[in-house]
Structure 1
């Protein structure tokens, strides 16, 4: 494709170039190693013998590693009431092996993942497999015996009612079966399994679990270890029975690090069902936020799960009315079980973009930004299978697997039927991409800590994003943009300060389509900033570079890319959009006195949603209110600008 120069809404020329995979994903080493040394001998130029290859000596990440940081198996109490796939099955599936589902379907990923966190719930960790197997430690309790007899009596209705009773028991203040030995045994078995499937350089089994608190208000966290079994065995999963206060979780993690010399982080669960509590401006108990609490959150929660099965959490149309792409797989009626109706004032405490703005406000007051997080996507699947792809979506839990009427199955039954959630509402997402230097626990963890990560809603879009002050349009023409990116600036998750010469920041952005998904519609940069005089925050979305010869209208609005989806046949054509997009963009509204953040959002052309695939496969008709088309997208971690 020839180079095409187009005008962006920022009145800066964007650049579309024909990039191959090496352009976006690979690069040369950072500037220190790549000045070619030459000597003049008559008219012949002689290169130094160690400097010919532009790929030699690279010391930065060269490809994104794809994974899922939030997956449940039979070991989780809620999943284990329906799911019979083990933690080993989950790792096998993620590595690309075929498995048989709980209901007997054959399942396999289109492409293996690079890493996986089996994050089973900490609450009564491992109970269901032990209960069904008649484990003597579990049956030593009266409640264990009652549940075991009900589950094994051969009465399907009794077994189902008992399973629902077990799930409901998770909302209590005390565990119905308090057996630390059984939990320790299940945790140790998990550590052995993770070690069995961990193969440095090939596949990484990251040790982790989910801390599940405030059930219906979804203040959950996924805890990830940098460490292997030797250190991880010196602790056990921290649960809501220890404390429902996430601040106590952070203290527990700090104690673990100090005691063992290990390292650990937590990823906040999607907050769109927290009814305003995930990104509250106050402490957990409602009191004023302190510097200590803000520091603990900033330290232990470097990432946020921005998209997953239970909806997308980047932005909301109420908060961002000028954002045409804000209303994506939106769950915003109530909290998780529909017991508390959501009101508009709650939304600001639930979505990533607003949280990033709130973080700057808190920093202006306390000097610490507790919401300075990067982006990651995950499935939160309870099937033991990380299936985020639209044409391969196995749903939230194993109670209902792909079948003709799955779309209308009642997933969450609320007291008010209007607030209940049905199968079609589930989103087939998401995935996490990590720019790690190698596929190991340590390298992936380190990349997460520096926030060099991004989220997608399920497709595997390749994205590079760098910020600095010296990027030029020539950098977007390079076949190795990562070289310029690392040499001249900082990657996603990084920080830039004020330029001494008063320059405006420049950003190098590049995206490559998923080979088996839709072409790219556009790359956008989302900017948020704080006015230090008023304390008010603002946002603006810039279309930086896009496909085709579209021209923004008088209001700067870029026309839609179009839609080639054939819903009836669940297919589309890539006759619109672009396979690659790259540009250098300069902030036209930059004010050096105002703190700001910038992140990239990449939008694909429309493609069939999982519901369209299902309608086609099973020959069913779904009502008009069921969406059949989706626009996959990627969200990068921000780059922050701090005055001074």
Structure 2
């Protein structure tokens, strides 16, 4: 009997007999032909560790999200998947768009709240028209006033009141998205992964989570996605996820937005019900939310310059004025919004209560509402369809955060958006299951849009020369742990040692440097963080202050050259301040050389566009790996 042997990482070419029959494609392996345990010539037969990096977007909206479909997006899930797979697609405002290279996976994560409302209005869905409020919105749109209809819908959403309350409609629209994903899923080539967004926003504070399934249609079809109408408390979302797994035998996880519009609630010290964080909460949060969306269109969420004053790269597309327009930001909120500080505070919680509520890996995503997962600065189609290329001044001046109460102090306009981000997953194959499993074990990392390849291992006895060996990964897995892993007490006198490799995007910019970000809990019980330069391009040297000079810049308008920086960097780093009694985490940040921003590319293409003085015209893309955690004791 023929069977494909799972877990062995085997692939075979065709025998001449198969070729003679004109058959092209993979063939199954005869079990009897594999001599398990016997030494064989090919050294890769029983290699099983992840050996490929796959690129994708886990947070893309289509016209099925009401805040996309009712403000100009006419592209549905089919167009989103086609675009991600590399096809040319005509955007909602008329421009054609295409990726430089296809993505490997995509989650269409449309908002659960009144899922598919805009397409239902467009098709005059009988079920929608049977609802008085639904008919009212339909008639407003068909009568030529879609913005008024959108505002009325938004008012109900802000009150978390579902004016339609029809599970049958929700299930029907969800099933359409599921069917689209099934049509475009191609194991080994492209993974169309099922998911949605739960859009909790209590008091206009962003607590959104993307929900991502491991499963195929046989388990997810027929669901009614959990929405903010059901609850604004993430613990209730976890209950729903737990029930899904119990009912279906499936697997599901969630990950949160970057928290810069949460006004301190994303990593708060209390639960939403006002009770303090306890071990049960910490364990549940880590179980259901293993990852954090650290970068996306709505700013970057790694750290804040006020929290990391010695980090010259901390002020990267910082959104720190307030929440979604109703409350200004205060300094005490910042430590509860950014990844670097939350990871360190998680260590403190672990020491105090015995579990870490903020033990998360890092990914990037777009949160684009155009159906187009574009993250390159020279190919940025914006946050929403109304600010796509060719839409004129609105592309730069349109509000992302409206000054609802407090005026211009809190407003954020589209010119301040970031062409970010992507998730990179280390796996052996491109399937829903393999990608999901990589996410679950946190062997993933974030970039702000470019495809920088990064790998890091932590152990106790790595030698400097091993960074450059061809069996770098095999060595790393054999004697250490990868990103997302846990490192426990090592030999006496040893310190955590990191081996790091980084390779530039083949279609992008050279690399500036590799850094290690460390977090720990000090003797005073307070969380601490520090950045170490590990490897860099050129003949620069660390100064007396421990700082590395800037790499320089070749940016001129919308042009740059790769005459500075390095195509690849490797680093060997031993923690010089290691205390075996202190909990710690380590993640890697890789910086590219400066490149033009999307505004610079727009300026070059459209001519003299009117931009504010604080418009970012050159920037440095970067990657953030998931951390590796050190825990004292055996």
Q: TM-score with structure 1 length normalisation?
A: 0.90
Contact 1:234–1:260, Cα closer than 8 Å, also in 2: no
Q: Which position in structure 1 is the counterpart of 2:461?
A: 470
Distance in 2 separating the partners of 1:168 and 1:579: 50
- Range 186-195 or range 309-318, more displaced: 186-195
Q: Answer whether contact 2:140 2:148 (CA < 8 A) is retained.
A: no
In the TM superposition, what is the alpha-carbon distance from 1:235 to its structure 2 partner?
3.1
Larger relative contact order (CA 8 Å, sep ≥ 6): 1
Partner of 2:131: 141
Q: Map of 1:446-525 to 2, 5 A cutoff?
A: 446-525=437-516
| 1:401 CA drift (Å) | 1.4
Q: Distance in 1 between matches of 2:222 and 2:151?
A: 33
Cα distance change of structure 1 residues 136 and 480 upon mapping to structure 2, 3 Å threshold: same
Instruction: Verify: 1:537 aligned to 2:524, yes or no.
Output: no
Give, in whole Å, the separation in 1 of the partners of 2:157 and 2:369: 16
Counterpart mapping for 1:182-197 below 5 A: 182-197=169-184
Name the counterpart of 1:87: 77
Q: 2:164 aligns with which of 167, 177, 202?
A: 177
Please, which runs of 5 or more residues in structure 2 have no aligned partner? 1-7, 10-36
Output the CA distance in 1 between the equivalents of 2:382 and 2:413. Answer: 11
CA distance in 2, matches of 1:608, 1:49: 55
Give, in whole Å, the separation in 2 of the partners of 1:391 and 1:168. Answer: 36
Match of 2:100 among 91, 105, 110: 110
Matching of residue 408 in structure 1 with residue 420 in structure 2: no
Q: Distance in 1 between matches of 2:300 and 2:234?
A: 22
Matches within 5 A, 1:47-446: 52-81=41-70, 82-153=72-143, 155=144, 158-214=145-201, 216-233=204-221, 235-336=223-324, 338-403=325-390, 404-405=392-393, 406-414=395-403, 415=405, 416-446=407-437
- Alignment partners' CA distance in 2, 1:65 and 1:600: 18
CA–CA separation in structure 1 for the residues paired with 2:114 and 2:148:
19
Q: How does 1:620-635 map to 2 (within 5 A)?
A: 620-621=608-609, 622-635=611-624
Q: Give the match's secondary structure for 2:363.
A: strand
Aligned partners of 1:146, 1:104: CA distance in 2, in Å? 29
Distance in structure 2 (CA, Å) of the matches to 1:462 and 1:350: 27
Give SS of 2:55's match: strand
Report the alpha carbon displacement of residue 271 of structure 1 after superposing the two structures with TM.
0.6
Residues 257 and 264 in structure 1, CA contact (< 8 A), matched pair in contact too? yes
Aligned residues: 592
For residue 243 of structure 2, give the secondary structure of its aligned residue in structure 1: helix
The worse-fitting range, judged by mean Cα deviation, of 361-370 and 375-384 is: 361-370
| CA displacement, residues 26-52 of structure 1 (integer Å, 9 cap, x when unaligned) | xx99xxxxxxxxxxxxxxxxxx99555
Q: Secondary structure at the match of 1:116?
A: strand
* Contact 2:171 2:223 survives alignment (8 Å): no
Give, in whole Å, the separation in 2 of the partners of 1:208 and 1:546: 39
Q: Which of 563, 566, 584 is equivalent to 1:575?
A: 563
Secondary structure at 1:283 match in 2: coil
**Are the aligned partners of 2:445 and 2:626 in contact in 1 as well (CA < 8 Å)?**
yes
Inter-partner Cα distance in structure 2 for 1:56 and 1:181: 50
> Any conservation in 2 of the 1:191–1:207 contact (CA below 8 Å)?
yes
Tell me if the contact between 1:279 and 1:355 (Cα under 8 Å) persists in the aligned partners: yes
Task: Report deviation, 1:577.
Answer: 0.4
Instruction: Report which stretch shifted further, 409-418 or 455-464.
Output: 409-418
Is the 8 Å Cα contact of residues 77 and 167 (structure 1) preserved in structure 2? Answer: no
Alpha-carbon distance between aligned partners in 2 of 1:238 and 1:343, rounded to the nearest angstrom:
31
Q: Paired residue for 2:585, among 597, 607, 610?
A: 597
SS at match of 1:294: helix
Shift of residue 324 of structure 1? Answer: 0.8
The CA deviation string for residues 498-538 of structure 1, in whole angstroms up to 9 with x for no partner, is 1133311111000000011110000000000113x532121
Q: Which runs of 5+ in 1 are unaligned?
A: 1-27, 30-47
Deviation for aligned residue 1:580: 0.2
Give the Cα–Cα distance (whole angstroms) in 2 for the partners of residues 453 and 103 of structure 1. Answer: 34
Across the aligned residues of Structure 1 and Structure 2, the Cα RMSD in angstroms comes to: 1.6
Matches of 1:518 and 1:53, distance apart in 2: 36
Q: Deviations over 1:121-161 (max 9, x none)?
A: 011111111122111100001111111111112x3xx2222
Q: TM-score by structure 2 length?
A: 0.91
How much does 1:583 deviate?
A: 1.7
C-alpha separation between the residues in 2 aligned to 1:410 and 1:350? 22
Query: Which whole-Å CA distance do the structure 2 matches of 1:300 and 1:362 have between them?
Result: 18
CA distance in 1, matches of 2:530, 2:215: 40
CA distance in 2 between partners of 1:49 and 1:296 (Å): 44
Look up the SS of the partner of 1:521 in the other structure: strand
Structure 2 residue matching 1:247: 3-state secondary structure: helix
Q: CA deviation at 1:268?
A: 0.9
Contact 2:447 2:621 in 1 (8 A): yes
